[in-house]
Amino acid sequence: MRFIVVPILLVLVMTQSFSHWFVVLAFNINRDYIAKNLCENRYRPKMHCNGNCVLMRKLKEKEKEEQNQPAAKSEISIIVLSSKTYFPNILPPVHMQSATVYQDFTEVKTVDRSFAFFHPPQA
């Protein structure tokens, strides 16, 4: 799935970034047709316009489109994720039996707390 979506998104971003170059490329491919049929100066061959007037007009239209587009507003919402719980336990606290003293401390044990909140000892 990722191998399909990533190239598509990459092409879309590149299309938006290089849209100016696509206009120029399309002009160069169709230069003869534009010079003969669409050029404003096609009846004045002494000007040697060769369709450049059409290219300049399209580039100005493209610039106006880019300027008229509203700037993308990005709102960043902050989500705080915590491993601590802020809600009281539903089950009543379990009281520990008297602890056994181990001479060999190679075994790692987790600490069991009766409450989810840490409360310092009271004097």
Its pTM stands at: 0.47
Express as a percent the part of the chain with pLDDT over 90.
12
Q: How far is CA 120 from CA 28, 45, 70, 83, 115, in A?
A: 77, 93, 55, 19, 12
Sequence spans of domains, the chain: 2-68
| Res. 115: pLDDT tops 60 | no
Residue 28 pLDDT: 92
Residue 84 pLDDT: 60
Q: How confident is the model at residue 80 (pLDDT cuts 50, 70, 90)?
A: low
